[in-house]
Amino acid sequence: MIKHVAILGLVLSASACSHRQAGTPIDGSLLGASALNNAAVMSGERDFAIQLAQRFANEVPTTINFAFNESRLDGEARQVLDRQAHWIKQFPEVRFRVFGHTDSVGSTAYNKRLGQRRARAAVNYLVSRGIDRRRLEAMVSLGESQLLVLTNGQERRNRRTVTEVSGFMKRHPSLLDGKYAQIVYRDYVASAKSETGLTLSESVTLAEE
């Protein structure tokens, strides 16, 4: 019986290692990762991070595209990143991660490096627009491993970077009391206006008067 329990424990440990949540420290021990995950669940941080990620994806274009074999940003990409930077500035407690992708033309190793250069270009631009580099987590290159369009040829939609919410800044003053919900539902400067031309918060105030 003890032997079976020990084997089960090893299986669960291996499973936990292979399904680490985004933002979990790579060099953390299994016990440390479990403790962090449990704390995030108990505080509601993980659920609120998911909600904020959904809000970001709904309100801002998260993807930019590149010319073939290029990591330079064109005008359209810069416009999208400008919108991302504006949104990100309204949530200084939140961290982001940029994923780099390529199409399937070229070797796997080359595309891994190209995806990294694209992610780095996007991050550097966001930093140039006033985003603290510490809020932009380690850039991840997925190369050609996650194609949007399954083809062996050149495909612009596959040549992209994707920006995603990855979690909250630790020890940020706004989070000392665990006020994640207030951050998720915070109105920001460019919030949509109602038909009256007022922001959402102004409309609510008038409705209450």
Over the stretch 14-51, which tens digit does the pLDDT of each residue have? Answer: 444 434 444 444 444 444 544 444 444 445 688 899 99
Q: Each residue of 133-156: b (16+ CB within 10 Å) or e?
A: eebbbebbbbbbeebeeeeeeebe
pLDDT for residue 98 is more than 80: yes
Which of 70, 62, 61, 56 lies closest to 103, judged by CA? 70
pLDDT digits (tens, 9 = 90+) for 111-151: 999 999 999 999 999 999 999 999 998 688 999 999 999 99
Which helix (H) or strand (E) is 59 found in, with range?
helix 45-59
- Least Cα distance to 119 among 59, 75, 178, 77 occurs for 77
What pLDDT sits at residue 123? Answer: 96
Around Cβ 205, how many Cβ atoms within 10 Å?
11
**Which stretch of DSSP H or E encloses residue 101?**
strand 94-101
Torsion of CA 15, 17, 20, 25, to 10 degrees: 170
* Assigned CATH for 30-208: 3.30.1330.60
Q: How confident is the model at residue 183 (pLDDT cuts 50, 70, 90)?
A: confident
Please state the rounded mean pLDDT for residues 87-99.
Answer: 95
The Cα–Cα gap between 179 and 160 comes to 34
> Is 100 in a helix, a strand, or coil?
strand
**Beta-carbon count within 10 A of 192 CB:** 8
| Per-residue pLDDT, 55 | 94
Break the chain into its structural domains and give their ranges. Answer: 30-208
Residue 169's pLDDT band, with cuts at 50, 70 and 90, is confident
Check whether 189 has a pLDDT greater than 70.
no
Query: What residues contact residue 17 under an 8 Å CB cut-off, 6+ apart?
Result: 30
Predicted TM-score (pTM) of the model is: 0.70
pLDDT, position 37: 47
pLDDT at 53 over 80: yes
What pLDDT score was predicted for residue 66? 98
